[in-house]
Amino acid sequence: MTADPDAPVVMPAGFRWGVSTSAYQIEGAVAADGRGTSTWDTFCAEPGRVLNGDTGAIACDHYHRYADDVALMRDLGVDTYRFSFAWPRIQPDGTGPGNAAGLDFYDRLIDTLLGAGIQPAPTLYHWDTPQPLEDAGGWLSRDTTDRFAEYAAIVGARFADRVPLWITINEPMVLTLMGYSLGAHAPGKQLLFDALPVAHHQLLAHGRAVQALRAAGAQQIGIASNHAPTWPASDSAEDKEAAGLYDNLINWMFADPILLGSYPTGLEAAMPGPVADDLAVISTPLDFFGINHYAPVSVGVATGNPDTAATDGVLLPPGLPFEPRTITGYPTTDFGWPVVPDAFGEILRIFKDRYGDRLPPIYITENGCAINDGPVDGVVDDQRRIAYLDGYLRSLRSAIDDGIDVRGYFQWSLLDNFEWAAGYSQRFGLVHVDFETQVRTPKASYHWLRDVIAQTPSQSR
């Protein structure tokens, strides 16, 4: 039977619906409760780093308004909230015992979620490294993996009795590429391929955190890793080779070690430390694998054309063996990303083909789009976001129907927020935030998604 393209998409019974956020992007209150300085505080304070000089000092003021935001989630109908702990709020210096006042904030948030019938799904690390750890070497230093394991043990001991779903690290590729290789995100280093130890140390920290959380009694543990198909720019052998190299660096360097216990060919020799021993830790079995997905990437051999050699608007340095190319023929988000719903199902099928029985159940831990529509007479009619979500959810449902075990979908994001180096210029939220008044206005997409969620059979949810 052919599906009716006009009928609402319906997910299987028991499918988990959620929304995602991260601490630095929404919490604000950067000086509250003994919270320490993070690398993003430092980065934002450096002139020219963030568009318009924006910072996360206030952001969405979620720290003070979390109860209102939980009410928005409850009314949306989600059963899961993926947020992140702010490492500097829990360990201001990145070492030592947990900060009681910071831990108390997350106690309040978690208890409020549970009281609303929403399961918390915290991420331990979403890029906000305590500045003293960065000063000591950051993710270039193996010692940071020790500190991260200690941090994981603190939060596990405090919250494992109430948290059913845990995520260790968010998008280790982005921190490696944008933070340490290209310098477009905190901590702003431009190390190019010398940033590879950052990838290895994050993966090792992930494995050690899995072990620490399990020791604390945590049950369901995974990672949130961003992945997308890499399309060769042409059928030429040169473009296919360039795309394959890029694919290994951006996708498989961050998934193979976890799911196969090995690096793609040629990369293991570039990694520091006792790599074989580390891989045994990195590949500690997971309960799920979280995939963040937004858009495919077209890659070809380097041409030296600075107009094409960019990623997320950041120009790549000359001399690399590959370059991204603009994908044409599709609508784009206001961030300039192509809208290609079929690529969502494509990356899920690639994962299934690549990993087979080694692939645990999947959660979509992020998916969404920047659509910058604002209120008109009190209404945010973001029809392009609705079209985006409809297309991507249909692609997801098709992959599920093909036998890919996807257990849930967490939309990015609940709220318009601080969008890293783009500041407040890009709006990913289902809820519009007036950053001057902090007034929240649910958008048309919020109401649309609420209706979609309500269609899901309630059995086992």
Give pLDDT, residue 343: 98
CATH classification of the domain holding 226: 3.20.20.80
* 294 appears as a binding residue in the annotation: yes
147-178 pLDDT per residue, tens: 999 999 999 999 999 999 999 999 999 999 99
Please count the residues of the chain: 461
Going by the DSSP 8-state scheme, the letter that residue 141 receives in this structure is: S
* 99 appears as a binding residue in the annotation: no
* 220 appears as a binding residue in the annotation: no
In a domain, 131, yes or no: yes
Give pLDDT, residue 318: 83
Query: If you average pLDDT over residues 250-259, what whole number do you get?
Result: 98
Give pLDDT, residue 316: 84
In the chain, what is the greatest distance between 2 CA atoms, to the nearest angstrom?
61
Helix intervals (H) in 5-59: 23-26, 39-45
Give pLDDT, residue 305: 75
Give pLDDT, residue 1: 32
Contact (CB, 8 A) for 106 and 97: no
Under 8 Å CB-to-CB from 28, ≥6 apart: which residues?
56, 57, 58, 59, 60, 61, 62, 63, 64
For 230-265, b/e burial (b = at least 16 CB within 10 A) is bbbbeeeeebbebbbbbbbbbbbbbbbbbbeebbbe
Check 171, 238, 241, 268 and give the catalytic one: 171
Query: If you average pLDDT over residues 282-296, what whole number do you get?
Result: 98
Q: Is the peptide bond before 298 cis (omega within 30 degrees of 0)?
A: no
pLDDT at 306 over 90: no
pLDDT at 39 over 60: yes
How distant, in Å, are the alpha carbons of 9, 37, 44 from that of 423?
A: 33, 18, 9
In a domain, 7, yes or no: no
Q: Is the peptide bond before 92 cis (omega within 30 degrees of 0)?
A: no
pLDDT at 3 over 60: no
In a domain, 9, yes or no: no
pLDDT at 2 over 80: no
State the CB neighbour count (10 A cutoff) for residue 419.
19
Question: Two tokens at 205?
Answer: 């920290």
* Residue 332 burial (10 A CB sphere; 0-12, 13-18, 19+): middle
406-453 pLDDT per residue, tens: 999 999 999 999 999 999 999 999 999 999 999 999 999 999 999 999
Can you spell out the DSSP letters for 302-338? Answer: ----TTTSEETTEEPPTT-S-EEE---SS-B-TTS-B
Query: If you average pLDDT over residues 101-129, what whole number do you get?
Result: 98
Check 27, 134, 346, 366 and give the catalytic one: 366
Share of the chain above pLDDT 70, in %: 97
Residue 134 annotated as catalytic: no
Residue 366 annotated as catalytic: yes
In a domain, 193, yes or no: yes
The span from the CA of 395 to the CA of 140, in Å, is: 38
5-36 pLDDT per residue, tens: 678 899 999 999 999 999 999 999 998 999 99
342-384 pLDDT per residue, tens: 999 999 999 999 999 999 999 999 999 999 999 999 999 999 9
Chain centroid to CA 389: 17
3-state secondary structure of 99: coil
Query: If you average pLDDT over residues 102-113, what whole number do you get?
Result: 98
Orientation angle between helical segments 100-115 and 62-76, nearest 10 degrees: 20
- What pTM value is reported for the model? 0.97
* 419 appears as a binding residue in the annotation: yes
Question: Two tokens at 104?
Answer: 């108390």
In a domain, 5, yes or no: no
In a domain, 6, yes or no: no
* Residue 113 burial (10 A CB sphere; 0-12, 13-18, 19+): buried
**Closest listed residue to residue 83, CA positions, set 93, 73, 95, 98:** 73
* 420 appears as a binding residue in the annotation: yes
pLDDT at 461 over 50: no
Question: Two tokens at 359?
Answer: 């692939």
Give pLDDT, residue 15: 98
Q: Could you list the residue range(s) of the whole structural domain that residue 179 is in?
A: 16-455
CA atoms within 13 A on the CB side of 400: 21
The span from the CA of 16 to the CA of 457, in Å, is: 11
Q: How much is the mean pLDDT over the chain? A: 96
Give pLDDT, residue 6: 74
User: How many domains are contained in the chain?
Assistant: 1
208-228 pLDDT per residue, tens: 999 999 999 999 999 999 999
How distant, in Å, are the alpha carbons of 33, 108, 155, 216, 342 from that of 101?
A: 5, 11, 13, 21, 45
Give pLDDT, residue 350: 98
In a domain, 205, yes or no: yes
In a domain, 341, yes or no: yes
* 170 appears as a binding residue in the annotation: yes
**Closest listed residue to residue 190, CA positions, set 320, 86, 67, 361:** 320
The span from the CA of 223 to the CA of 171, in Å, is: 8
Q: Helices (H), strands (E): how many in the chain?
A: 15, 16
Can you spell out the DSSP letters for 164-203? Answer: SEEEEEE-HHHIIIIIIIS-SSTT----GGGGHHHHHHHH
* 226 appears as a binding residue in the annotation: no
